[in-house]
């Protein structure tokens, strides 16, 4: 084996990429082989990390936005001394492996965010860079640069074609995030083939227009010196993010290098043989790592361990001079909430005025902002409608703009719903911060890809979603979210809240903030809602509770949000007709499902039919109710009360439907079992 130790290490990565994907018989060897030089230079010479403590707060963050290079990240983690063994590399893409197909946060130490869907990783990286800038502005002092890490992200042609990447990178340029360094793997190949068929824009000009510094490395396959020089230059940038356009050859060393055939399928055996011979490896050996390569990465790991030790010494001095700030930083990094913070949550009685729940949300955010300094967030250009900006909030902006500072906690995301949600994922992943984004509930659909990854990644991200139903009125069906709740409720590990009054609103924030590993979407009304007589934070925090109880009920009404007061009116109308109705408020399915069997059956018991009422599609209500009253089509344009009347979702309409349900089940003359019975009596529990 000949060549410099750096070249040997690069070729080792290329050979391992072929072996890892070949052993799994699934994956993408091309990108890892093409990006091996820059990956090696970055990890061995630039990245600040301690593989023995992957959670060190001031470590550099590395994000592989291009999910097609996932094998590369696991190889780097193995070489750098993280808990990724050679056996783990051999188990790539296998069930229950710590090296799953695409990197997942929480599965493998050293993985910062969940990537795979293109464009998400670079958007997360923007969030990571924002979090560092904010934490640094809050905690750094003269001679005490505690939070000063860089965020590095690798991205490819596919990432740059996704709209979410454009949204996030545009905002990153505006915010002048000098701590963000992107490496663009410009190999001109996607799954469909040469990018000439669909992607011929001038990427460098595009990023210059965003306000990024653009650097260029023409020979990314072998010009190690140029790669190192570009990364050094990028580190010098303090007031703008940097993208390095790195010209590479996909599948470098393969017989099919430069073509799309090497992009998404393992190399043939004869190809791996010739490649290993070319690089000086024994073609009969697999997963071979020369001592010289391990030595380079061991040295990088030792350098990182020393960097953390030096940081700890600096933090000790900081603690002596700034004990209050040191204690606060420690609390936030450890994920502990301030003692008694929940006492700031407002409570309500029936003597309080009827207001829209978006206004109740504003009051809650304003109270929480005073006691939770880690709460940060903003709106996608709807601040005045979402009501998310608290009094005296400072905007997060580069100081040079005169619009705020990096210490600001309120974000102007612009009209970028998808980018906003993906950026919030990165902020949450950084640590020490609880982010929220805001838009209309209907436009959470624009952010679906990132919301899904919030849940998969177990990230505490809040999405404030106002104008939550046909009750927004005149904007009509384009803005009325008939189907949105159904798909949000279908996402595992995501809490969709729809509060009916002030106490339920406070409960939704309470549980969302306590849920350290679950994201939440909080849906709020535009129209005014009365404060309910029997609601409380404690009751609503269970996800569902009995709002109006009656013995020997003929029917139970179950509802959410702005339809709960309508159901209260229906209960009174039914009473006048001799029909006894119970009323249940169910603001959050996900949280209700975590309650005990006995509690759930006390809320939705057997004995009488259950009718659900919601101004949405009825999809999904079968798990809780026998009959489902809602919308069968799109909404309509007009004043909100007229729109509700059009669809008969009024106290009168609900009462009529309930009468029919009661009559139907009386006619059957059979016991009425709770829909929960079949779900709770799971045969697997026997």
Question: How far is 350 from 195, CA to CA, in rounded Å?
Answer: 63
Q: 524 with 442: CB under 8 angstroms?
A: no
Of the candidates 330, 307, 429, 309, the one whose C-alpha atom is nearest the C-alpha of residue 62 is: 429
Dig out the tokens for 246 from the structure.
């790195």
Dig out the tokens for 331 from the structure.
């609390």
Question: How far is 433 from 376, CA to CA, in rounded Å?
Answer: 7
Question: How far is 222 from 228, CA to CA, in rounded Å?
Answer: 11
Say whether 329 sits in a helix, a strand or coil.
helix
Secondary structure letter of residue 391 according to DSSP: T
Question: How far is 179 from 130, CA to CA, in rounded Å?
Answer: 9
Angle (nearest 5°) at CA 80 between 74 and 83: 65
Of the candidates 645, 667, 6, the one whose C-alpha atom is nearest the C-alpha of residue 292 is: 6
Per the listing, tokens 């783990």 go with 88
Question: How far is 233 from 217, CA to CA, in rounded Å?
Answer: 12
Question: How far is 344 from 178, CA to CA, in rounded Å?
Answer: 36
- Cβ-based burial of 135 (10 A; exposed 0-12, middle 13-18, buried ≥19): buried
Q: How far apart are the first and last CA of the chain?
A: 61
Is 394 tagged catalytic? no
Question: How far is 567 from 227, CA to CA, in rounded Å?
Answer: 66
Q: How many CB atoms lie within 10 A of CB 550?
A: 15
Q: How many CB atoms lie within 10 A of CB 573?
A: 17
Question: How far is 10 from 33, CA to CA, in rounded Å?
Answer: 9
Dig out the tokens for 470 from the structure.
């046909």
Q: 101 with 31: CB under 8 angstroms?
A: no
Q: 465 with 521: CB under 8 angstroms?
A: yes
- Cβ-based burial of 200 (10 A; exposed 0-12, middle 13-18, buried ≥19): exposed
Dig out the tokens for 634 from the structure.
């799109």
**Among 104, 112, 228, 417, which one carries the catalytic annotation?**
417
Q: Is the dihedral of CA 591, 593, 599, 604 positive or negative?
A: positive
Strand 610-617 to strand 151-156: parallel, antiparallel, or no bridges (unpaired)? unpaired
Dig out the tokens for 527 from the structure.
């129209």
Q: 318 with 141: CB under 8 angstroms?
A: yes
Q: List residues with catalytic annotation.
A: 417
């Amino acid at each position: 084996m000949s060549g410099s130790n750096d070249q040997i290490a690069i070729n080792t990565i290329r050979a391992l990429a072929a072996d890892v994907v070949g052993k799994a018989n699934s994956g993408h060897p091309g990108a890892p082989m093409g990006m091996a030089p820059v990956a090696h230079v970055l990890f061995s010479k630039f990245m600040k990390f301690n593989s023995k403590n992957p959670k060190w707060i001031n470590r550099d963050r590395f994000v592989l936005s291009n999910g097609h290079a996932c094998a590369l990240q696991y190889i780097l983690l193995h070489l750098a001394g993280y808990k990724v063994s050679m056996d783990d590399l051999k188990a790539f893409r296998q069930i229950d492996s710590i090296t799953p197909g695409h990197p997942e946060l929480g599965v493998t130490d050293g993985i910062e965010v969940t990537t795979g869907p293109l464009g998400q990783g670079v958007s997360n990286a923007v969030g990571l860079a924002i979090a560092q800038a904010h934490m640094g502005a809050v905690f750094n002092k003269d001679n005490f640069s505690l939070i000063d890490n860089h965020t590095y992200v690798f991205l490819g042609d596919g990432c740059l074609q996704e709209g979410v990447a454009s949204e996030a990178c545009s905002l990153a340029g505006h915010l002048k995030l000098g701590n963000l360094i992107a490496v663009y793997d410009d190999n001109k190949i996607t799954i469909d083939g040469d990018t000439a068929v669909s992607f011929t824009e001038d990427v460098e000009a595009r990023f210059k227009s965003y306000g990024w510094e653009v650097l260029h490395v023409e020979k990314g396959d072998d010009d190690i010196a140029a790669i190192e020089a570009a990364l050094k230059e990028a580190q010098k940038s303090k007031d703008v993010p940097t993208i390095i356009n790195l010209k590479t050859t996909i599948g470098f060393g393969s017989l099919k290098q430069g073509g799309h055939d090497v992009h998404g399928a393992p190399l043939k055996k004869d190809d791996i043989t010739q490649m290993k011979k070319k690089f000086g490896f024994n073609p009969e050996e697999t997963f071979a790592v020369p001592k010289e390569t391990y030595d380079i990465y061991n040295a990088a790991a030792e350098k990182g361990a020393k960097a953390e030790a030096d940081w700890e010494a600096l933090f000790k001095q900081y603690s002596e001079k700034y004990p209050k700030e040191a204690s606060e930083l420690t609390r936030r990094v450890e994920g502990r909430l301030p003692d008694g913070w929940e006492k700031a949550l407002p409570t309500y009685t029936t003597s309080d005025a009827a207001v829209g729940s978006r206004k109740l949300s504003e009051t809650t955010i304003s109270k929480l902002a005073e006691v939770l300094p880690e709460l940060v967030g903003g709106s996608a250009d709807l601040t005045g409608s979402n009501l998310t900006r608290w009094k005296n909030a400072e905007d997060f902006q580069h100081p040079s703009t005169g619009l705020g500072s990096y210490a600001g906690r309120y974000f102007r995301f612009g009209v970028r719903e998808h980018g906003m949600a993906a950026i919030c994922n990165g902020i949450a992943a950084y640590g020490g911060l609880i982010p929220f984004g805001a838009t209309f509930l209907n436009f959470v659909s624009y952010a679906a890809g990132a919301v899904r990854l919030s849940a998969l990644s177990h990230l505490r991200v809040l999405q404030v979603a106002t104008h939550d139903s046909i009750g927004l009125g005149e904007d009509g069906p384009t803005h009325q979210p008939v189907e949105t709740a159904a798909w949000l409720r279908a996402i595992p590990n995501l809490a969709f809240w729809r509060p009916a009054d002030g106490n339920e609103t406070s409960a939704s924030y309470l549980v969302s903030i306590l849920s350290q590993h679950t994201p939440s979407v909080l849906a709020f009304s535009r129209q005014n809602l009365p404060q309910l007589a029997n609601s409380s934070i404690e009751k609503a925090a269970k996800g569902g509770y009995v709002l109006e109880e009656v013995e020997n009920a003929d029917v139970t009404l179950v509802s959410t949000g702005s339809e709960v007061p309508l159901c209260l009116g229906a209960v009174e109308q039914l009473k006048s007709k001799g029909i006894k109705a119970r009323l249940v408020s169910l603001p959050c399915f996900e949280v209700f499902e975590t309650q005990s069997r006995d509690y759930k059956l006390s809320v939705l018991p057997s004995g009488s039919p259950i009718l659900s009422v919601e101004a949405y599609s009825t999809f999904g209500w079968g798990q809780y109710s026998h009959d489902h009253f809602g919308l069968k089509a799109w909404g309509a344009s007009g004043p909100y009360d007229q729109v509700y009347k059009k669809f008969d979702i009024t106290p009168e309409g609900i009462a009529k439907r309930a009468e029919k349900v009661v009559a139907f089940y009386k006619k059957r003359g059979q016991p009425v079992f709770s829909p929960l019975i079949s779900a709770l009596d799971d045969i697997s529990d026997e």
